[in-house]
Every structure is written in C-alpha cells, then in structure tokens.
Amino acid sequence: MAREFTLPDVGEGVAEGELVQWLVAEGDTVSEDQPVAEVETDKAQVEVPAPVNGTVRELHWDEGDIVPVGDLFVTFDVEGEAPEPEAEESAEAGDDDDDDDESADGAASATSEAGGRTFAPPSVRKLARELGVDLDGVEGTGPSGRVTEGDVRAAAEGGEEAAEPAAESTSATQAVGDDDGATAASAGGAAAGGQEPAGREKTLAAPATRGVARELGVDIDDVPAVEQRDGEAFVTAEAVQAYAEGGQAAQGDAAAAGGAASREFVEGGETTEPYRGIRRTIGEQMAESKYTAPHVTHHDTAVIDGLVETRSKLKARAEAEDVKLTYMPFVMKAVVAALKEFPVLNSELREEDDEIALKQDYNIGVAVATDAGLMVPVVKHVDQKSMLEISEEMNELVEKARNRSISREEMQGGTFTITNFGAIGGEYATPIINYPETAILGLGAIDERPVAEDGDVRAAQTLPLSLSIDHRVIDGAEAAQFTNRVMEYLTDPELLLLE
C-alpha cells in the first residue's frame, strides 16, 4: 500500500524549503527516521527523515525546486503491506494500443524496477518512462555518471537500429589511434569535412559549453574545433549546438568559417546561480536595514599591546581546558561593559508603538562568513558568562553555522552584533546594521601600525574599529563615547576584571 508523505514543517515556522539533495533514489529501501533529503530553509539546511519503514516509490520534486510545506514530497510502499500494482494497471490501460506501446510499457516497467540502481533525478526518470527507455542501458554523461535528459533523448532517438552504425563509428574512431598514419588521416577527413579528426583525447572548452554538450547528448571530443589554442582544439557552445542540430557536415562548415583569416574573439558569456534560500534572506534583510535605518559609521583605532599580551598569557590555560581562546571574547566583554554605560546602543526602535526599547539582556551576535553567505549566531547573556564560557559557546556556534547545522533559535534574540571583516584582511568598513538592532561594531585586522606617543613614533599592535549606528536613535556623540569606552577596555583588559 502506498503511503504519501508531505514536506513537514521542519520546526522553524517556514512556509517552504529548497530541495538541495535527494539522499535516496526510487526503489531504495529505507527505515523509519532515515534521512531521505536535505532541504534548505531561509536560515539553515536540515535533513528530512523517512516517516516509515518501506521502499521509495516516487520522488515528486527535482533538486533545486522550492517545495511548499504540506505538499506531496515522497511516496513510499510501506513495509509489510502489498504495493499497488502500478505497472500492471498501466499495462491493462494500454491493451488497446499497438505492439510498440506494449513494448514501451515493458521498458517503462523495467526502468521503474531499476530505479534504485541508476543515478538520475526524478524528471529524467519520468522522461525515460515516457520515451520507453530503460535507464539501466543508458550511460550517464553528467557529474559522477549522472544520467541527464540529453542521455535519455539520445538513447530514445538512437534505438536499436542506430546501435550497429554507432559501433562502426566507434571502431573507426579507435583506428585514429593506430600506428597507420594514412588510416588516421582518412578517418579525420571523413569525420570533420577536412578539419581535425573526431574523437580527440583533449578538447578546450568553457564549463558552460561542456554543460551544453551534456544536455544535448554530444561528445564534446567529437565536435570539430572552431580554432586551435596552444596546439589544442577549442570548441564553443555554438559549435556544439551546430553539431547537434546539423550533424558533422554542417559543423564542418562552421569549423571552416572559424578558421578564416579574420580572427573572431570568443564571447565569455555568463553563468547563473539561484537567488533564493539563505542568500535571498540575507539580501532582503540587508535591504530592509539599509533603507529603513539611516546609517552613520564612526571609525577609530585601539592600541592593544596589553590585550595581545594578556591573551597570550591566557591562551595556554584555555587550551588546557580544551578551549580555543581568540580575541573575540575580549571584544564581546568590552562591548557589554560599554553597553551598560550607553544603553541606547543596545536598543530597538519600534516605530509602530512610538517607542525605543532599551534591552536589559546582552545577547551578542557574531557575524560568520559561510559558503551560503553571512550568518549571525547569537551568544546569549554574555554579561553573565566567563571568558572561557563565551569562547567555548561562540566556537561551537560558529562551527554549527559553517556546517549548516545551526538552528533558527540560535540566530535569534540578538541585541548587538560584531562583525570581524579583519579576519580576511582590511582595516575599515561600513557594516550594515543587523536590523532591528540599532548598532553594529566592525573589527579590522589586528596588526602592527605606527603610533605617535609623547612626540615619538613606535610600532604598536592596533585594532581598527568601525561602528555603524541607526542615526534615528543614536547621536554621533554617543557613538564616539561608546567607541572610546570599548577602546579603553581593549587597551587595558584588566579593567574587565572589575565588571
């Protein structure tokens, strides 16, 4: 008996998710709670577990699709229950069709049975069933041997009649590698209208061109070159398209035209990637913040020789506790101490209520660069935790953000954010506020820089600071005073012992 499984609410209150990857194929046997797919919400990537013990009958979406919560996701044949005779019903429905249709039904049935043994997305499997192609007999040209729609269409168009000529062509191509130079020249002239021989061992082409070749079911090494680059054949997407549509003769003309005296430059083209999931959420949040809160940024530089020395002394002690101690916990403690003196920077403007909420909690967000974009884990109640506790929790949250296992709740509730762009170089920037917060502190790279003191110039360890504020709530003077207080704590970190 079939069991229909809809995409569940993954516990984050989202309305939809992007299907990143299927972890099973049609025909696979699964156990209850076994992950069957990876789905990306607007904040995190999660695994969707199987609700039953059984067999995967049908995957209803393609990787990359946006799936609404509650929509049919997977159909299972439940273990211990007889599956519905889908193939038999299909055959009975086709009794009035001709022999070819019966043959196609048989191929589709075989494809369905082989579903768990062939690497192909659901859309390709569906196409194979429609065209009567047995996927087990199709050689995939996609990544990791994945079967593409082009592979299926090529198999359907070639059929059994084309199998023998294809074998002869393969034999002729193999002859190119023989020691008989005359045979090679003859085969090459026939293959490309007098151009270079087909079946090259190496072809220069852009990744997008190779993608076109895979989609059209064309072996890129068989496409005559448009030109030679460093002694190697170069093929364009247009040449692949012409080869697929017009055959070798038309492609020979294209190659001849490309070899004319007047040089033609190859257009670079473009590649695209989806603007959705976490990347779209980040963009929308940035736009809302920038167009809602008028930003002003205050820059300054802290001399932190004392902080560098203090951290060096405590680093070994932290390692003994199995904790990696960076400079960030010191900065977080300094920020909290300064926020207590200037609470307006630990606030939220609620325009609809005509009020400014001064937060009594000190929940510090730390911006983290990940493969999916910028994420902001939040360390709660920093004022009530020790340096080692802050360091340990922050390191754990950062790691979870980078491997996409962080929960939505672990990125909510922040009252002030710190972003460390200095980790990848640079001194100053204009950070965008993590709205609806009203301030964000950017850290530049810690480095030796010239510092003037008492008429003398010396090399000192310094930390550039960039504080962006919501000017509707915070005045420039308050921003400067807050930054000065943070610098005091960083210059003389022993002051933090009094907090």
Residues contacting 245, CB < 8 A, separation 6+: none
Q: What is the DSSP string of 215-280?
A: HHT--GGGSPPSEEETTEEE--HHHHHHHHHHHHHHHHHHHHHHTSSS--PPP---------HHHH
DSSP 24: S
Of 60, 295, 299, 471, the catalytic one is 471
The distance between the two most distant Cα atoms of the chain, rounded to a whole number of Å, is 101
Residues 6 or more apart from 452 whose CB is under 8 A from it? none
Contact 289, 435 (CB under 8 A): yes
Q: How many Cβ atoms sit within 10 Å of the Cβ of residue 44?
A: 24
Contacts of 269 (CB under 8 A, 6+ apart): 206, 208, 237
**Residue 33 token pair:** 């709670």
The DSSP bridge partners found for residue 75 are 4, 58
Residue 486 CA, chain-centre distance (Å), reads: 36
Which residues 6+ apart lie within 8 Å of 271 measured at CB? 207, 208
**Pairwise CA distance, residues 289 & 295, whole Å:** 9
Q: How far is 34 from 364, CA to CA, in rounded Å? A: 36
86-93 vs 99-113: helix crossing angle, rounded to 10? 170
Identify which of 53, 43, 44, 42 has the alpha carbon closest to the alpha carbon of residue 5. Answer: 53
Residue found by looking up tokens 């990544």 in the block = 143
CA 498 to chain centre: 45
457-481 b/e (C-beta count within 10 Å ≥ 16 → b): eeebbbbbbbbbbbeebbeeebbeb
Angle at which helix 181-191 crosses helix 163-175, to 10 degrees, equals: 130
d(CA 38, CA 403): 13
> Is 299 in the active site?
no
What is the per-residue DSSP string for 28-52? -EE-TT-EEEEEE-SS-EEEEEPSS
**Which residues, other chains included, contact 496 with Cβ-Cβ below 8 Å and sequence gap of 6+?**
330, 333, 334, 337, 489
Just list the catalytic residues.
471
